[in-house]
Amino acid sequence: MTRKSKKIYFDYAATTPVDPRVIKVMLPYLGKKFGNTMSIHSFGQDAKIALEKSREQVADLIGAKVNEIIFTSSATESNNLALKGVAFANKNKGKHIIISQIEHPCIIESSNWLEKQGFKITRLPVDKYGLVSPLDVKKAIRKDTILVSIMHANNEIGTIEPIEKIGKICRQKKVYFHTDAAQSFGKIPIDVNKMNIDLLAASSHKMYGPKGAACLFVREGVKIEPLLHGGGQEMGLRGSTVNVPAIVGFARACEICEKEMEKESRRLTKLGNKLIKNVLKIENSHLNGHPTKRLFNNANFWFSFIEGESLIIQLDLLGIAVSTGSACSSMKLEPSSVLLAIGLKPQEAHGSLRISLGRWTKEKDIDYFLKVLPKIIKKLREISPYGK
């Protein structure tokens, strides 16, 4: 097995390269159009116009109103703002929040922190595919519940949650519904009105935009406190000089995703299905997550008698970049909490591999991967301390 001269990137769920079309629209704002959106002079006004046009483009992708988009620096920040901001603005109504066990660490840790401040957190379990049951959400809602936060698509196993049903329940029960859409935004259709979403987090660097730009959709009328107090930017919900170049890039990335969504989803579904079908031909290999209710660009497997890290290193030696789980948790030695929540044993969770495809994935990349993977697995199993 020889290293490919060109590297293959299969970790689009961790982050994506910036599309050259995005870089092109950003450059003027890194150069001559450098103004501060809060300045009255023409430099400031040019920046302000670009900011408001960007807000329109981002809102468009999810059917939101322009004044419902708050720009932030990351989905981590958006999720912190959603949970803590809603918690503190509504604490007189109640102090109970519902999340799922498979949320991204930024939701889990924000909830843990809120718990220390006296809020009550219910962490709903998921089934073997990673699905949250809408009925469980309904049963968990109490008189003092102020917020339900269930992610749209899981970052490790790609399972798409029934958020439209959950949104409907929350609306009936008059409880705010927040969804972390960092992985689904720009990939699959989202309509915040049809889905009864009150708050939604998304991130530019997951969809071919630059790092450092993200948004929180906050439905008109939702009571929320800012985390960053300052000069009144972002409708008073996020003080900070606005990162115009990154936001302009984020907005262009949204525009491209919207235009190319259908075609790209068809193309990557085909490649993803080929990948899954053939990887499962390897003895003792298993798919994690739902077989059909999943993001088309995500495939997560576990292989008996194998350690995921060894597999990643072997693939990396051949120029193929994959991951074991979320980029945020892959530096930890503990098994993924998402995989444990869907019922895997710690040893099984350690044998997992996430492959996420994207805009520059070609069929020949999949073919090369399918050619080398069985050989690597065979080699690793021969020296595996786990048995076989």
Catalytic residue among 170, 215, 254, 328: 328
Phi then psi for residue 89, to 5 deg, are -75, -20
24: number of Cβ within 10 Å: 11
CA distance 326 to 334: 12
Q: Percent helix, strand, coil in the chain (nearest 5)?
A: 40, 15, 45
AA identity, residue 290: H
Least Å from the CB of residue 77 to ligand PLP: 7
Least Å from the CB of residue 261 to ligand PLP: 19
Nearer to ligand PLP, 19 or 180 (CB): 180
76 binds ligand PLP (CB under 6 A): yes
Residues 122-161 vs ligand PLP: string with x where CB under 6 A? Answer: -----------------------------x---x------
104 binds ligand PLP (CB under 6 A): yes
214 binds ligand PLP (CB under 6 A): yes
Least Å from the CB of residue 93 to ligand PLP: 26
169 binds ligand PLP (CB under 6 A): no
CA distance 134 to 168: 9
Q: What is the DSSP string of 109-126?
A: HHHHHHHHTT-EEEEE--
CA distance 14 to 104: 12
Rounded CA Rg of the chain: 21
Q: Which of 19, 46, 180, 264 binds ligand PLP (CB under 6 A)?
A: 180
Residues 234-273 vs ligand PLP: string with x where CB under 6 A? Answer: ----------------------------------------
Q: Which of 18, 75, 124, 318 binds ligand PLP (CB under 6 A)?
A: 75
CA distance 45 to 33: 10
Least Å from the CB of residue 25 to ligand PLP: 20
Residues 326-345 vs ligand PLP: string with x where CB under 6 A? Answer: xxx-----------------
Q: Which of 59, 106, 197, 248 binds ligand PLP (CB under 6 A)?
A: 106
Stretch that binds ligand PLP, among 69-77, 166-174, 331-339, 358-366 (CB under 6 A): 69-77
Question: 328 an active-site residue?
Answer: yes
183 binds ligand PLP (CB under 6 A): yes
Residues 6+ apart with CB under 8 A from 31: none
Q: Tokens for 124?
A: 């709903």
Least Å from the CB of residue 211 to ligand PLP: 8
Nearest Cα to Cα of residue 369 among 236, 276, 247? 276
| 3-state secondary structure at position 222 | coil
182 binds ligand PLP (CB under 6 A): yes
AA identity, residue 61: L
Q: How many residues lie near ligand PLP (CB under 6 A)?
A: 15
178 binds ligand PLP (CB under 6 A): no
323 binds ligand PLP (CB under 6 A): no
| 3-state secondary structure at position 86 | helix
CA distance 84 to 155: 22
Q: What is the DSSP string of 18-46?
A: PPHHHHHHHHHHHTT----TT-SSHHHHH
- What residues are labeled active site? 328
Residues near ligand PLP (CB under 6 A): 74-76, 104, 106, 151, 155, 180, 182-183, 203, 214, 326-328
